[in-house]
């Protein structure tokens, strides 16, 4: 699995800072992750943990300033994205890496038909006739499960439902058969039944088109449904990573464990939910040492001082908590 | 449901149609049947969950109960009194007993008012005239929702989403209500904060004997917090049952659909049981779910079925469930 040529995207020690009037906000503070070919990788975390900024940095969509990429490397298929010229990056975006955004109503242009908007992606990247563009657009709309694609071509975004709009967004992303789709909370604004449709669509398309998906979400239920591997982010760093089975069955970072414990389910009826005290720290005022220590029930004095190292549990499972790594028994106990 | 003698809230046949105006003259072309004959009962100290997708009319029901909107038909009885027919003046004292918590604590608190100012209106309404008593009550309310007393002088922007929601709850409690309508109270909050607010709502219920109408689209939360659940679809309640029954033995095809669509963190590799979008663009006659129902038959073309009793306190609006 970990052959170097199998890796499609690798992000190493990425640091993105936002510089404004106040103190520097370190939105992404040393993030490492990899996406292999044809793999679904989830970045999961709460708002403000840096998931979206990471995605935007990959695509070179961050406005600089106020953002500044303070360090790290992003390598896509052997090429360094951060060293690329804008023109090269533009040729790559939409063609080999595509993005699906959270709110389809704000990311679709209200004054162009959906046919125009999907076709534009094809026209920008390939020299094809308009008839061919039309044929491909209809095919794409059909692929994403839109009923009567021919009739929908001339529709404007406001004429479509939320689920249909998100399908159009996905069709746009698929237009040039990219190797990687970055989906940033694509179902957060949708109803559960529509969310289920979109998730199954993404799963199906991934199989058919041999794509990799980098899926960004805060919803652990969605992660369990779609991911092959998971990276849990907190306060700009990856605190735990592993296969989906391990993260949900055998988490070893206090934050991941606490998140899973705090989810309400019908099995926990009558019991008190575990709630994580405090709130997510502001990116400009993060605690020293381990960013999670003020809210952690396993904290020890050393957590306030040293930034925790990534501890390796084998089989790709790593967690940034030396305390639990040293005292595995306590982790077992906490899990029981 | 164990029917105690006197429910706190009883809603019968509630209807609200919004006119759709068209064209230059803004003539009323058709009506959106936002709420189309809803019956609900909330027992004292209980939590009634109202679930459904966006646009199904859940929030409109809450607004109708609180008389922020006037119903077109139907009755709302609160504590044995019919409140739909009351004049605004006669209803005012009752409004203190029914309060609301909104989804978005960012937009439901006035940004120019300190926390104390936001809460003090309610405290005054509750009849506490003396300034120092008011301050004492504000401190007490903030303490109840787990906010430090020092937060009284601060403005909403100084707080995180979870803290703002706590302020919203304190404001709702300032008039000592009996019934609190919670409209998606945790959907806008971070995952790690949601559990805090859920626990707070449960604690307050135990402490103050509150009843909740808990409106949500998050079925996991509803299955955890609610005693009784009503599933709403296109302005109608299609199934209602005690929470444990509804989640274990759902009957209505829409409820089955909804439950199948919920991804759970305990199910790794879950794959959704749904196909493409709805195929029939025109609403069929009869049952509102007809266009998506796998069992749509001849019976379903008649008037939408009445609620059929299928178990203890378990009612379903479906011919096939009977």
Instruction: Give me the DSSP letters along A323-336.
Output: HHHH-HHHHHHHH-
Per-residue pLDDT, B298: 75
The number of residues in chain A equals 336
Per-residue pLDDT, A233: 92
B109-154 pLDDT, tens digit per residue, is 899 999 999 999 889 988 888 899 999 999 999 999 988 888 899 9
Decide if A244 and B269 are in contact by the 8 Å CB cutoff.
Answer: yes
Decide if A279 and B257 are in contact by the 8 Å CB cutoff.
Answer: no
**Cα–Cα distance measured from residue B12 to residue B244, given in angstroms and rounded to the nearest whole number:** 24
Give yes or no for residue B261 having a pLDDT over 70: yes
DSSP B251-320: -SHHHHHHHHT---TT-TT------SS----SPPSS-TTGGG-TT--SGGGSSPPPPEEEETTEEE--GG
> How many H helices and E strands in chain B?
9, 12
Model confidence at A334, pLDDT cuts 50, 70, 90, reads low
B311-322 pLDDT, tens digit per residue, is 888 998 887 776
Give yes or no for residue B277 having a pLDDT over 70: no
Q: Which domains does chain B have, with CATH numbers?
A: 9-97+177-279 (3.40.50.300), 112-172 (no CATH)
Q: In Å, how far is A241's CA from the nearest CA of chain B?
A: 15
Decide if A266 and B263 are in contact by the 8 Å CB cutoff.
Answer: no
Find residue A314's DSSP bridge partners: A317
Decide if A264 and B261 are in contact by the 8 Å CB cutoff.
Answer: no
**Cα–Cα distance measured from residue B14 to residue B62, given in angstroms and rounded to the nearest whole number:** 11
Beta strand ranges found along chain A (DSSP E): 7-18, 25-36, 40-44, 67-76, 79-80, 97-100, 180-184, 212-217, 229-234, 237-243, 311-314, 317-319
Decide if A146 and B192 are in contact by the 8 Å CB cutoff.
Answer: no
Q: What is the mean pLDDT of residues B12-28?
A: 84
A158-184 pLDDT, tens digit per residue, is 888 777 888 888 888 888 888 999 998
**Cα–Cα distance measured from residue A220 to residue A241, given in angstroms and rounded to the nearest whole number:** 14
Model confidence at B278, pLDDT cuts 50, 70, 90, reads very low
For residue B219, the surrounding DSSP H or E stretch is: helix B219-225
Decide if B198 and A164 are in contact by the 8 Å CB cutoff.
Answer: no
Q: Which of A128, A215, A137, A214 is nearest to A175 (CA)?
A: A137
In the stretch 35-64 of chain B, residues with CB closer than 8 A to chain A read: 53-54
Q: Which residue in this structure is represented by tokens 């300190």?
A: B114
Find residue B28's DSSP bridge partners: B21
B187-234 pLDDT, tens digit per residue, is 878 888 888 899 999 999 999 999 999 999 888 899 999 999 999 988
DSSP B81-148: EE-TTS-HHHHHHHHTTEEEE-S-TTTSS-TTS-HHHHHHHHHHHTT--SHHHHHHHHHHHHHHTT--
**Cα–Cα distance measured from residue A229 to residue A237, given in angstroms and rounded to the nearest whole number:** 16
Give yes or no for residue B45 having a pLDDT over 70: yes
Per-residue pLDDT, B275: 46
Per-residue pLDDT, A240: 93
Q: In Å, how far is A270's CA from the nearest CA of chain B?
A: 8
> How many H helices and E strands in chain A?
13, 12
Per-residue pLDDT, A212: 92
Give the nearest partner residue to B217 out of A192, A222, A277, using CB atoms: A192
Is the four-CA dihedral B279, B218, B304, B73 of positive or negative sign? negative
Q: In Å, how far is B270's CA from the nearest CA of chain A?
A: 5
- Best residue of B200, B277, B281 to probe chain A, by most A CBs closer than 10 Å: B277
Is the four-CA dihedral A259, A261, A262, A268 of positive or negative sign? positive
A252-283 pLDDT, tens digit per residue, is 899 999 988 888 888 888 888 888 888 788 88
Long-range contacts (CB closer than 8 Å, 24 or more residues apart) made by A63-68? A65/A19, A66/A18, A66/A19, A66/A20, A67/A16, A67/A17, A67/A18, A67/A27, A68/A16, A68/A17, A68/A18, A68/A19
Q: What is the mean pLDDT of residues A237-241?
A: 92
**Cα–Cα distance measured from residue B197 to residue B178, given in angstroms and rounded to the nearest whole number:** 19
Per-residue pLDDT, B276: 44
**Topology given in CATH for the domain delimited by A4-96+178-335:** Rossmann fold (3.40.50)
Q: Which of B66, B11, B16, B62 is nearest to B40 (CA)?
A: B11
Give yes or no for residue A306 having a pLDDT over 90: no
Give the nearest partner residue to B225 out of A191, A223, A264, using CB atoms: A264
Q: Which residue of B has its CA nearest to A164?
A: B277
Per-residue pLDDT, A82: 86
**Cα–Cα distance measured from residue A322 to residue A302, given in angstroms and rounded to the nearest whole number:** 10
Per-residue pLDDT, B48: 95
Q: Residue A106 burial by CB count (10 A; 0-12/13-18/19+): exposed, middle or buried?
A: exposed
Whether residue A167 contacts residue A201, with contact meaning beta carbons closer than 8 Å, is answered with yes
Q: Which residue of A has its CA nearest to B245?
A: A266
Beta strand ranges found along A111-259 (DSSP E): 180-184, 212-217, 229-234, 237-243
**Cα–Cα distance measured from residue B106 to residue A335, given in angstroms and rounded to the nearest whole number:** 36
**Cα–Cα distance measured from residue A173 to residue A171, given in angstroms and rounded to the nearest whole number:** 5
Q: In Å, how far is B218's CA from the nearest CA of chain A?
A: 8
Q: Which of A97, A101, A94 is nearest to A118 (CA)?
A: A94
Model confidence at B1, pLDDT cuts 50, 70, 90, reads very low
Per-residue pLDDT, B128: 87
Q: Which residue in this structure is represented by tokens 């607010």?
A: B197
Per-residue pLDDT, B280: 41
Question: 3-state DSSP call for residue A96?
Answer: coil
Q: Which letter does DSSP use for residue A93 in this model?
A: B
Chain B CB contacts of A225 under 8 Å are 263, 267, 269-272
Q: If you compute the radius of gyration of chain B from its CA atoms, what whole number of angstroms results?
A: 21
Per-residue pLDDT, A67: 84
Q: Which residue of A has its CA nearest to B246?
A: A266
Tokens, residue A152 = 């929908």
Q: Which residue of A has its CA nearest to B202?
A: A272
Per-residue pLDDT, B20: 80
Per-chain mean pLDDT for chain A: 85
Decide if A224 and B202 are in contact by the 8 Å CB cutoff.
Answer: no
- Please state, for a pLDDT cut of 90, what percent of chain A lies above it: 14
DSSP A234-256: ETTEEEEEEEHHHHHHS--SHHH
**Cα–Cα distance measured from residue A131 to residue A125, given in angstroms and rounded to the nearest whole number:** 16
Residue spans per domain, chain A? 4-96+178-335, 106-175
Decide if B258 and A192 are in contact by the 8 Å CB cutoff.
Answer: yes
Q: In Å, how far is A106's CA from the nearest CA of chain B?
A: 18
Per-chain mean pLDDT for chain B: 85
B172-195 pLDDT, tens digit per residue, is 999 999 999 999 888 878 888 888
Decide if B258 and A279 are in contact by the 8 Å CB cutoff.
Answer: no
- Best residue of B165, B226, B255, B268 to probe chain A, by most A CBs closer than 10 Å: B268
Tokens, residue A25 = 């906000």
Per-residue pLDDT, B211: 94
**Cα–Cα distance measured from residue A282 to residue A258, given in angstroms and rounded to the nearest whole number:** 20
Give yes or no for residue A333 having a pLDDT over 70: no
Q: Which ipTM score applies to this complex?
A: 0.77
Question: CA A191 → CA A162, A195, A196, B39, B194, distances in Å?
Answer: 9, 6, 9, 24, 19
Residue B217 sits at the chain A interface (C-beta within 8 Å): yes
Give yes or no for residue B24 having a pLDDT over 70: yes
- Best residue of A162, A166, A266 to probe chain B, by most B CBs closer than 10 Å: A266
Cis peptide before A65 (omega within 30 of 0): yes
Give yes or no for residue A1 having a pLDDT over 80: no
Model confidence at B279, pLDDT cuts 50, 70, 90, reads very low
Chain B CB contacts of A198 under 8 Å are none
Decide if A218 and B191 are in contact by the 8 Å CB cutoff.
Answer: yes
Tokens, residue A92 = 């790559």
Q: In Å, how far is B127's CA from the nearest CA of chain A?
A: 34
Model confidence at B33, pLDDT cuts 50, 70, 90, reads confident
Model confidence at B305, pLDDT cuts 50, 70, 90, reads low
Decide if B195 and A263 are in contact by the 8 Å CB cutoff.
Answer: yes
A209-226 pLDDT, tens digit per residue, is 889 999 998 888 888 888
């Amino acid at each position: 699995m970990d052959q170097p040529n199998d890796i499609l995207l690798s992000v190493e020690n990425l640091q993105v800072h936002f510089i404004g009037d106040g103190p520097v906000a370190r939105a992404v503070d040393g993030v490492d992750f990899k996406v292999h070919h044809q793999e679904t990788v989830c970045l999961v975390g709460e708002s403000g943990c840096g998931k979206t900024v990471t995605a935007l940095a990959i695509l070179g969509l961050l406005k600089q300033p106020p953002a500044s990429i303070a360090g790290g490397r992003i390598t896509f298929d052997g090429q360094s994205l951060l060293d690329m010229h804008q023109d090269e990056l533009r040729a790559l975006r939409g063609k080999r890496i595509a993005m699906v955004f959270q709110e389809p109503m704000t990311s679709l242009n209200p004054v162009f038909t959906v046919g125009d908007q999907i076709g534009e992606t094809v026209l920008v990247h390939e020299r094809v006739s308009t008839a061919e563009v039309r044929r491909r657009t209809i095919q794409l709309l059909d692929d994403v499960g839109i009923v009567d694609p021919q009739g929908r071509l001339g529709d404007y975004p406001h004429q479509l439902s939320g689920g249909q709009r998100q399908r159009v967004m996905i069709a746009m992303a698929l237009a040039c058969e990219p190797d990687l789709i970055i989906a940033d909370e694509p179902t957060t604004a949708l109803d559960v039944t529509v969310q289920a449709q979109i998730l199954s669509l993404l799963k199906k398309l991934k199989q058919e088109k041999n794509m990799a998906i980098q899926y960004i979400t805060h919803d652990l239920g969605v992660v369990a449904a779609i991911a092959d591997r998971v990276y849990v982010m907190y306060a700009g760093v990856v605190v735990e990573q592993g296969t989906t089975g391990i993260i949900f069955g055998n988490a070893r970072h206090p934050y991941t464990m606490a998140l899973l414990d705090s989810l309400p389910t019908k099995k926990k009826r009558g019991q008190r939910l575990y709630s994580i005290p405090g709130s997510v720290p502001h990116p400009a005022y993060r605690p020293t040492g381990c960013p999670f220590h003020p809210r952690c029930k396993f904290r020890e004095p050393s957590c306030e001082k040293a930034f925790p190292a990534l501890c390796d549990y084998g089989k790709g499972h790593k967690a940034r908590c030396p305390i639990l790594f040293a005292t595995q028994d306590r982790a077992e106990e906490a899990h029981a | 449901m164990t029917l105690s003698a006197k429910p706190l809230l009883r809603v019968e046949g509630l209807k609200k149609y919004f006119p759709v105006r068209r064209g230059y003259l803004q003539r009323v072309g058709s009506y959106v049947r936002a709420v189309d004959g809803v019956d609900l009962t909330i027992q004292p100290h209980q939590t009634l969950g109202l679930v459904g997708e966006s646009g199904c009319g859940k929030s409109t029901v809450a607004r109708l109960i609180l008389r922020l909107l006037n119903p077109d038909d139907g009755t709302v009885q609160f504590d044995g009194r019919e409140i739909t027919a009351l004049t605004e003046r006669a209803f005012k004292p009752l409004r203190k007993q029914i309060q609301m918590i909104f989804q978005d604590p960012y937009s439901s608190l006035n940004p120019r008012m300190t926390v104390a100012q936001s809460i003090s209106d309610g405290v005054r309404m509750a009849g506490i005239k003396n300034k120092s008593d008011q301050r004492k009550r504000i401190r007490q309310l903030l303490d109840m929702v787990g906010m430090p007393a020092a937060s009284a002088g601060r403005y909403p922007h100084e707080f995180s989403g979870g803290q703002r929601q706590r302020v919203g709850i304190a404001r709702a409690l300032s008039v000592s209500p009996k019934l609190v309508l919670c409209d998606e109270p945790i959907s806008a909050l971070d995952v790690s904060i949601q559990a805090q607010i859920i626990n707070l709502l449960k604690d307050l219920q135990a402490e103050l004997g509150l009843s909740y109408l808990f409106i949500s689209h998050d079925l996991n939360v509803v299955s955890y917090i609610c005693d009784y659940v009503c599933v709403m679809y296109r302005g109608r309640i299609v199934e209602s049952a005690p929470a444990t029954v509804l989640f274990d033995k759902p009957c209505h095809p829409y409820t089955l659909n909804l439950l199948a669509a919920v991804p759970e963190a305990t199910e790794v590799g879950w794959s959704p049981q749904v196909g493409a979008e709805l195929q029939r663009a025109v609403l069929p006659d009869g049952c509102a779910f007809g266009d998506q129902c796998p069992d749509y038959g001849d019976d379903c073309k008649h008037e939408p079925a009445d609620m059929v009793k299928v178990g203890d306190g378990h009612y379903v609006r479906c011919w096939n469930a009977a």
